[in-house]
Amino acid sequence: MERIVSGLTTTGTLTIGNYLGSIKQLINNGGKYEQFLVIADLHGITVPFLPENLTKNSVDLASFLIACGLDVSSNHIFFQNQVIQHSELSYILVCHTTVGELLRMTQYKEKSEKFKLKNKTNTVPSGILFYPTLMAADILLYDAHFVPVGKDQKQHLELTRNIATRMNNKYGEVFKIPEFVTQPRLSKIMSLTDPTKKMSKSSEDKNSYISVLDDASTITKKIMRAKTDSENRIYYDVTHKPGISNLITIYSGFSNLTIEETLKKVANLDYGSFKKQLSSLLVSKLTPIQERFKIITETMEWKKVTQKGLRIASSVAVEKLLSVKDKIGLV
Ligand code: TRP
């Protein structure tokens, strides 16, 4: 079975953007691929964090993935820090990467600027710089065929491919070169308060995103307040009507209808009624997942599932790292 590697960082709660953009895709792949789902807690410590939040975010993330109904026989959910080969391979990759390549990463530039501004300092944690080589290790350890990531991660995947190719040229066949799978355009969910920006869990403005764990009244409140326009006519036009178009996209994602089918259903509504319908749709889809989530955290089922994930991921990672070390001449 071909392999997919996907990673979710532990910085903050999951949003409906993560759900529609990547998790739903992973569920739809069910059974077609063997999927290694990395709870990227080591990526989570590249920026300042509180230990108790790190623990909670990591456990919540694993529990949520399980609650979504991912089939645990073909999906291996595990904590990145527990498969120690990620850190070790990451170091070897760092030694095959130039500082210039890392400094050129758009995400590095954005994150470091943000960090400097926020902390009124001139220097940044080096974890932000080495983020992409850790991500490359996540991917290359499992000989992934495909990596489904959003546009913002494409540059990191290009770098992964470059490092892997460079090492293959130097040492013979070390790594499989992974393919990038683009997300369908539809699944990019924008901020509710500024629909020209991507919905982000790290945003300071809690009204800009919906967490997958938000309760019914919070979801409704956030949708009702979502920024639209004054035309009060529903049609899809991302350039002129980014707010309404974003809500249509969310409706389409949660109802499994295409944009056209969604428009047939909602085009005659005024904004208020549309937002009400959208809120109840979200609540009806998220509530059952949240109920399962609650049971999984209470019974600690996440522990069993991630222990199984750890066993399988480790068995692959141990072999792979040994073969990499052997090829580059480490005794
Ligand atoms: N950097 C990715 C993101 O921010 C998360 C991630 C970590 C990842 N490791 C990965 C994605 C490995 C794909 C494969 O979305």
Residues 131 and 223 in one domain: no
- Would residue 201 show up in a list of annotated catalytic residues for this protein? yes
The pick from 3, 6, 183 for probing ligand 1's pocket by mutation, whose C-beta has the most ligand atoms within 8 angstroms, reads 6
Q: What is the pLDDT of residues 252-282, one digit of tens each?
A: 999 999 999 999 999 999 999 999 999 999 9
Residues 137 and 214 in one domain: no
- Give the number of other CB atoms < 10 A from CB of residue 260: 9
CATH number at residue 178: 3.40.50.620
Pocket of ligand 1 (CB under 6 A): 5-7, 9, 38, 40, 43, 135, 138-139, 147, 149, 153
| Residue 146 belongs to some domain of the structure | yes
Q: How remote is the CA of residue 153 from the centroid of ligand 1, in Å? A: 7
Residues 24 and 72 in one domain: yes
Residues 108 and 154 in one domain: yes
CATH number at residue 229: 1.10.240.10
For residue 185, pLDDT over 70 is answered with no
For residue 162, pLDDT over 70 is answered with yes
| Residue 41 belongs to some domain of the structure | yes
203 confidence band (pLDDT: 50, 70, 90): confident
Helices (H), the chain: 16-18, 24-28, 41-44, 51-67, 85-94, 99-103, 106-119, 126-140, 154-171, 216-225, 242-255, 259-266, 271-298, 301-328
| Residue 37 belongs to some domain of the structure | yes
* Number of independent structural domains in the chain: 2
What pTM value is reported for the model? 0.93
- Would residue 285 show up in a list of annotated catalytic residues for this protein? no
For residue 19, pLDDT over 60 is answered with yes
Which is more confidently placed, 144 or 13? Answer: 144
Q: Residue 184's pLDDT is what?
A: 59
| Residue 198 belongs to some domain of the structure | no
The residue range of the domain holding 236 is 206-294
